[in-house]
Amino acid sequence: MAVVPLRPGRASVRLLPLLCGGARNKAASLSPAVPGRLTQRRYKKDVLPCPEVPVPSVSITEIRQYLRAQGIPFHDGYSCLHTPSLFTSEQEPQHQPPSAASAPYTLFIDKTTGSFLCTATLAEGTWQDFQANVELRHHGVPFPSSGEPEEDTRRAREDARCVWDRALPLWELLDEDETHITKTMFGISMVTDATLKRFGVRYLRTAKSLVFPWFSPRDASLKGVKLVGVETQGDTVTYVEQTLPRSGSYCNLFGLPLISRRDTEVVLTGRELDAVALYQATGVPSLSLPRGPTSLPPTLLPYLEQFKRITLWLGEDLRSWEAAKLFARKLNLKRCSLVRPGEQQPRPLEALRRGLNFTKILRAALPASHKSIISFRQLREEVFGELVNVEQVAGVKWARFPELNKLLKGHRKGELTIFTGPTGSGKTTFISEYALDLCMQGVCTLWGSFEISNVRLAKIMLTQFAARRLEEQLEQYDEWADRFEDLPLYFMTFHGQQNIKTVIDTMQHAVYMYDITHVVVDNLQFMMGHEQLSADRLAAQDYIVGAFRKFATENTCHITLVIHPRKEDDEKELQTASIFGSAKASQEADNVLILQDRKLVSGPGKRYLQVSKNRFDGDVGVFPLEFSKASLTFSSSKSKVRLKKMKEEKAPSSKKAPAGGTGTSKKP
């Protein structure tokens, strides 16, 4: 029986009206926060950042200097600086700074961003908010109250309470057969009722889903729930999840209320049931990340500061392994160990079912940091893992472009892809669907559109996502917009010429905050502007391409860079040498994609996608694209049939075929 990892569910819009009288959880308000004013926690999934109000950067040195200057005691943690809270009621007179002896260190300042969180009051904000509140304290001004929760937050909690009250503990189901069937369906027959009760797991009959609670770490009130259902197709089992509040605001470390202050080690898992199984087998404190291997929100880091050792056991595939290595950077490499996926080291729930030795697996966890690699011995397991998991090493597969999978084999982290095509051929439209396809499979994506507005880009992507013209079906807009909003998709609001350092800093911020693994830059020429002389422009372009190459490698992030081609004869097909600028772009790139557009006098042109460089395994080639104006997509259910037909028809006459042939070829 094959098990497919969790994917975001789309049923919440349909489920809630049945349970809660039609209540719906809309997106959070995007009103800007005022410095010095504490706001309710909200997670913005909109844009990064506004050019008129850039995100101020702060270094750890500046933070330390400021705290010392203000007489605020602190000590270094793994990911945060620890200080006494400014917001607890048991504090000294407001004109005096907190002292080390008078208050517990419950306020955590992120070393990378300067953002703070007080675990005692749940007050949080930016570094500028922290500075403003320190100034208020010096002047004896009372701290502003955070006020009541926003309407959307309040409604989400009401909906969560409604679901929670209707769910029943599994051990309280009257029908023993139903209990047995349910446990079998979710693969938890080996999990005892006592363990499920300890973690508060319930079952919702109407949705046939397990319900996992999110309790506030301050007062144990219910803040949200996660529902996990099962879909079965043949021998394949797919776990479908949905959250209240929506995934962008759901930030629950499942199992946190069970953690003692004296605990010094913890195991982080990718799923709630894995944390449950691991605790039952070992008794070791176990927590589950809210979005599995997709993201580790920095706002959770303060709750992990107490642990001297963290073991990341996120899943059983290479995608989870890569995520674990990235998360270890946030958590501090020195205290992290990683469980490598393998036949004898599957996910914890599967290990429990097979009766594997958990203690042996945890002891075999590899340290996240190595001072040096002195021989092949340290690389041996890495190489073996790539040989065993060839398909996973090849990367995430495109669902809409199967022919692209045959050439590139998949979308891999740490690579640079150059994409070009004639003016008006549909480069932006294609690359938006190309990126959307990956984003729908959980690839966290950051868009930098320097040529068209984010509104227009979002409209194109929403149309491609829905595969229909929503302007003709406005009654369906909210439903599709709700689903689209749940995608791990973010936008930069830069437009036109931008300084490369500003863009790189924004990308770095996005990688840290949102675990971005794919950045799309459209396009290089618009970002550079048109002010430099010709020679300066070539040098500037080489520098920018080099900066993107370095960023992709150091941050294990895939960058797709759109570059306009040189001005050439319309009758000639583009080649790798057609890319504007020097040869550095094509040399630095791991992949080069060219959108070929053959103009026809009698009708619309025929478009092809040519892979002219593939550093992964050398396969290059070309395949036809079929554009649908209604859905703005280049993928089509008929494309595969047309591809076979074109191969058969074009094979005898190679002159009429686009460069690269109609099939694939192998570079010598």
Spell 114-127 as b/e; 16+ CB within 10 A means b. bbbbbbbbbbbbbb
Between CA 319 and CA 185 the distance in angstroms is 25
Task: Answer yes or no: are the C-beta atoms of 107 and 116 closer than 8 Å.
Answer: yes
Task: Answer yes or no: are the C-beta atoms of 506 and 491 closer than 8 Å.
Answer: no
Beta strands in 458-617 (DSSP E): 489-492, 518-522, 558-562, 591-598, 606-614
Residue 414 pairs with which residues in a beta bridge?
A: none
pLDDT in tens, 271-324: 999 999 999 999 999 999 999 888 999 999 999 999 999 999 998 888 899 999
Between CA 605 and CA 348 the distance in angstroms is 53
Residue 31, Cβ density class (10 Å: 0-12 exposed, 13-18 middle, ≥19 buried): exposed
More confident position, 382 or 199: 199
Confidence tier at 530 by pLDDT (50, 70, 90): low
User: Does residue 658 carry a pLDDT above 70?
Assistant: no
**% of the chain beyond a pLDDT of 90:** 48
Spell 77-112 as b/e; 16+ CB within 10 A means b. bbbbbbbbbbbbeebeeeeebbeeeebebbbbbbbb
Question: Mean pLDDT, to the nearest integer, of 378-392?
Answer: 76
Task: Answer yes or no: are the C-beta atoms of 309 and 337 closer than 8 Å.
Answer: yes
For residue 573, the number of C-alpha atoms closer than 13 Å in the C-beta half-sphere is: 21
pLDDT at residue 34, rounded to an integer: 38
The chain-wide mean pLDDT, for the chain, equals 81
What one-character DSSP code corresponds to residue 31?
Answer: P
Between CA 32 and CA 636 the distance in angstroms is 41
| Least confident piece of the model among 90-94, 236-240, 457-461 | 90-94
- Nearest CA to 9 out of 202, 226, 326 is that of 226
Q: Which residues neighbour 566 within 8 Å (Cβ) at sequence distance 6 or greater? A: 578, 579, 580
Confidence tier at 637 by pLDDT (50, 70, 90): very low
For residue 224, the number of C-alpha atoms closer than 13 Å in the C-beta half-sphere is: 21
pLDDT in tens, 158-217: 999 999 999 998 878 767 888 888 898 898 999 999 999 999 999 998 889 999 999 988
Question: Mean pLDDT, to the nearest integer, of 359-364?
Answer: 94
| Least confident piece of the model among 90-94, 192-196, 237-241, 517-521 | 90-94
pLDDT in tens, 8-65: 444 444 455 445 544 444 333 323 333 343 333 333 334 454 444 455 678 999 999 9
What one-character DSSP code corresponds to residue 50?
Answer: B
pLDDT at residue 477, rounded to an integer: 92
598 phi and psi angles, rounded to 5 deg: -90, 110
pLDDT in tens, 605-615: 588 899 999 99
Task: Answer yes or no: are the C-beta atoms of 348 and 357 closer than 8 Å.
Answer: no
User: Does residue 533 carry a pLDDT above 60?
Assistant: no
Provide the token pair at 547. Answer: 């900066």
pLDDT at residue 15, rounded to an integer: 52
pLDDT at residue 26, rounded to an integer: 37
pLDDT at residue 401, rounded to an integer: 93
Question: Mean pLDDT, to the nearest integer, of 125-154?
Answer: 78
Task: Answer yes or no: are the C-beta atoms of 435 and 444 closer than 8 Å.
Answer: no
Residue type at position 89: S
Give the SS3 label for residue 206: coil
Question: Mean pLDDT, to the nearest integer, of 448-468?
Answer: 93
pTM for the model:
0.77
pLDDT in tens, 243-271: 988 877 889 999 999 999 899 999 999 99
Question: Mean pLDDT, to the nearest integer, of 346-367?
Answer: 93
